């Protein structure tokens, strides 16, 4: 189940929207850091519309894959009198919002959420009467196929799987579903999206493999060089740095050279894991903690570390999966160094959360190394908790080494 606090959620709510379906009124908290932060997604509306027009009357157990804020699962569970609702997303923040929204809409007693990548939980059991997914277009074709397979294998005989995808992927998706030998397939094209209602066939389970992690592999492993250290990395669908190290990673590595080789390092959202792997290979037994709100990041970091292990890299890496950077606080030690890469502008909620995290660490001799978006790094520099030690600039990015005071 996802782990979240009401305080963490409250700080990340961008707006709360009313939504009416049939005769029922719902309210959904949305976040700037999650998909469809300003409206209920049109694709989700269309999927619910087609479900309303289908022959389904009840669904004892409902499963929402890639749930986001939980709209599909929550509405379907209420409308079809579910006794159990499971919502799943690779984003810990999404899983937390989904569970929060289920509670706000009176479904706390039957609802639960999980943060994990599709297929990471092993082979599914066919226990859900209704399986839903607003399939992410950017997931990559192998991952989208895995999602379809996983959904069909999770559905009971005689149950229903409902998918919605952007129109550009309709032909590919229909062909894939027919290849999977579904018992029945209905296709509903709309202006920007296509909805698919599918019933699983007898042979769907045989399409799944036990090693779902390999489905996320993007191309073949690539050899990188960071600060004269060679690293192997397997690209991952849905994460960056699949061809070259990011400029933030290169800048952070250069700045980390100046620190004591034994100082505990803590990373938040390190992407595909190149930087933690570089630290481990360059400095050996330094304690490392990796925190992230993305289950796919945990998978990628583990794999990148394994590809670059040596006799010097025997100290284990601690991994934390949480909707909030504040989860790192329980692992912080005196003298720890927190490493933060900022790809783009942060939402106001994420900024406030980072500031509260750093203010709570005041007086602990904690350092922070940050690189990325120039405006965000400049904002961090101006905070009262930041005592700047050095500054860097490269390729339009800024970097800071600072002490939290």
Fold matches, 6-212 and 217-404: yes
Architecture of domain 217-404: 3-Layer(aba) Sandwich (3.40)
Rg, the chain, Cα only: 22
pLDDT value at position 164?
98
Q: pLDDT value at position 119?
A: 80
b/e per residue 105-125 (b: at least 16 CB within 10 A): bebeebbbbbbbbbbbeeebe
The closest of 61, 67, 57 to 90, measured between CA atoms, is: 67
State residue 1's pLDDT score. 47
Greatest extent of the chain over all pairs of C-alpha atoms, in Å:
66
Residue 211: its pLDDT value, please?
59
How far is the C-alpha of 374 from the C-alpha of 358, rounded, in Å? 19
The C-alpha torsion from 161 through 162 and 167 to 172, rounded to 10°, is: 0
- Smallest CA-to-CA distance from 130 within 63, 212, 178 is with 63
Q: What is the pTM of this model?
A: 0.92
Residues of the chain with pLDDT > 90, as a percent, come to 65
Q: If we measure between CA atoms, which residue out of 225, 189, 179 comes closest to residue 46?
A: 189
Which parts of the chain sit beneath pLDDT 70? 1-5, 122-124, 203-212, 261, 285, 310-316
Instruction: Tell me whether strands 337-342 and 366-372 are parallel, antiparallel or unpaired.
Output: parallel
C-alpha angle with apex 12: 7 to 14, nearest 5 degrees?
A: 130
**In the prediction, which pLDDT does 227 show?**
93
Spelled out in words, what is the top-level CATH class assigned to the domain 6-212? alpha beta
Residue 172 phi, psi dihedral angles, 5° rounding: -60, -45
pLDDT for 206: 46
Domain boundaries, the chain: 6-212, 217-404
Rounded to 10 degrees, the C-alpha dihedral 303/305/311/313 comes to -140
Contact criterion met (CB below 8 Å) for 115 and 321: yes
């Amino acid at each position: 189940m996802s782990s979240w606090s009401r305080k963490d959620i409250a700080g990340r709510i961008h707006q709360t929207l009313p939504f009416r379906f049939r005769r029922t009124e719902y309210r959904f908290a949305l976040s700037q850091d999650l998909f469809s932060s300003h409206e209920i997604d049109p694709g989700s509306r269309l999927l619910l519309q087609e479900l309303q027009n289908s022959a389904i009357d009840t669904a004892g157990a409902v499963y929402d894959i890639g749930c986001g804020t939980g709209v599909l699962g929550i509405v379907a569970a209420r409308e079809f009198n579910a006794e159990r609702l499971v919502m799943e997303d690779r984003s810990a923040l999404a899983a937390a919002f989904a569970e929060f929204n289920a509670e706000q809409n009176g479904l706390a007693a039957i609802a639960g959420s999980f943060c994990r990548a599709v297929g990471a939980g092993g082979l599914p059991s066919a226990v859900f009467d209704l399986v839903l997914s607003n399939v992410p277009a950017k997931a990559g074709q192998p991952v989208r196929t895995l999602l379809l397979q996983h959904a069909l294998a999770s559905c009971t005989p005689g149950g229903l799987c409902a998918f919605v995808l952007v129109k550009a992927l309709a032909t590919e998706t229909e062909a894939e579903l027919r290849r999977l030998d579904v018992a029945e397939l209905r296709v509903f094209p709309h202006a920007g999206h296509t909805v698919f209602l599918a019933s699983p066939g007898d042979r769907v389970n045989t399409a799944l493999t036990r090693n779902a992690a390999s489905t996320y592999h993007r191309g073949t492993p690539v050899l990188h060089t960071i600060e004269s250290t060679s690293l192997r990395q397997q690209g991952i669908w849905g994460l960056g740095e699949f061809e070259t190290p990011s400029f933030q990673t290169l800048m952070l590595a250069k700045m980390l050279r100046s620190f004591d080789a034994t100082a505990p390092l803590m990373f938040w959202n390190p992407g595909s894991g190149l930087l933690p792997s570089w630290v481990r290979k360059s400095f050996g037994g330094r304690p490392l903690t990796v925190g992230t709100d993305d289950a796919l990041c945990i998978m990628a970091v583990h794999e990148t570390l394994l590809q670059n292990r040596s006799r010097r890299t025997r100290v284990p890496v601690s991994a934390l999966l949480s909707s909030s950077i504040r989860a790192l606080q329980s692992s912080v030690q005196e003298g720890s160094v927190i490493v933060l890469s900022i790809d783009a502008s942060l939402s106001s909620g994420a900024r406030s959360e980072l500031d509260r995290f750093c203010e709570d660490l005041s007086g602990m001799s904690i350092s922070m190394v940050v690189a990325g978006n120039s405006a965000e790094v400049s904002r961090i520099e101006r905070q009262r908790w930041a005592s700047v030690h050095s500054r860097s600039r490269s390729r339009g990015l800024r970097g800071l080494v600072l002490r939290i005071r």
